[in-house]
Amino acid sequence: MSYNNILTSLEDSILTISINRESKLNALTIETLREIKHAVDEAQTNDEVHGMILTGVGEKAFAAGADISEFAHFNIEQATRMSADGHDVMNAIENGNKVVIAAVNGFSLGGGCELAMACHLRVASTQAKFGQPEVNLGVPPGYGGTQRLVQLVGKGKAMELLLTGDAIDAQTALNLGLVNRVVEPAELMSETRSLLKKICGKSPSAVNKVIKCVNDYFRPNVNGMQREIYEFGEAFETPDFQEGTDAFLNKRKPNFRG
Ligand code: COA
């Protein structure tokens, strides 16, 4: 499928999805989010894709939020639909079976911050800025920001960021646990690729089980401990487990197939 708002490239088993609205600081229109979801969904069943990187075109922005000009005149029904559809996109990334890393190259505000938070890991350039400025527009975040920010940085700091709308720099985001690494802009893509390559070298089925178990910690009415017991047991009948244990016992490197 050809896209209007994103670029995709598959190299070395890594699919890079780049938001391509540089003149609008990669603001997320509804169509942009739909295209991201389509690319992510398709990658889940594409054996050639082992992991994904999500980034923004240009040096200034990862994504400066949902596109304000698009939703400025929405009514309750349209806005509710917009939020629910946005949640579907974020959930598709978060609950997918392949690791997605956000390479945050600049502004990651509002929906842009929410998109980065839906990814499994975040690598930020020193130029990145994070924030949930929705209170300045008269709305709360609508793509999961009130929930995932709390999960990542804790209630106290999340409440402060959400209530003030203040943006923070990459180093502050690192200190808070909002991002995993901070690197120079020139190294952003290579560092992100090397982190993803490292994960892609592990057992895909174990990686998938880790994602499910960790996500279950945050699901109401789901017992994450029970899920872990189940996934641990299930792992013992996977080819990856045979390969991993055989490789260890025979002092060789494992060659996982997933
Ligand atoms: N929605 C729609 N358009 C946006 C946008 C958004 N979230 N963020 C930036 N843009 C557009 C601007 O309107 C401008 O378009 P124009 O050149 O046609 O006028 C272009 O991107 C460049 O932005 P500009 O504001 O001129 O850049 P800046 O460097 O002066 O400021 C920001 C950068 C990020 C501080 C500022 O763009 C901003 O505050 N954006 C909105 C952030 C926000 O509230 N996000 C949450 C939305 S829910």
What digits encode the pLDDT tens for the residues 129-164? 999 999 999 999 999 999 999 999 999 999 999 999
Are 117 and 144 contacting, i.e. CB atoms less than 8 angstroms apart? yes
**Protein residue closest via CA to atom 1 of ligand 1:** 67
The catalytic site residues sit at 114, 134
Q: pTM of the full predicted structure? A: 0.98
Nearest alpha carbon to residue 145 among 48, 153, 137, 195: 153
The pLDDT assigned to 258 comes to 80
**Average pLDDT estimate for 111-137:** 98
- State the distance from the centre of ligand 1 to the C-alpha of 48, rounded, in angstroms: 36
**What is the rounded CA–CA span in Å between residue 236 and residue 238?**
6
Q: Is the CB of residue 68 below 6 angstroms from any atom belonging to ligand 1?
A: yes
Determine the average pLDDT of the residues in 58-79: 98
- Specify the residue with its C-alpha closest to ligand 1, atom 19: 24
- pLDDT band, very low/low/confident/very high, at 239 (cuts 50, 70, 90): very high
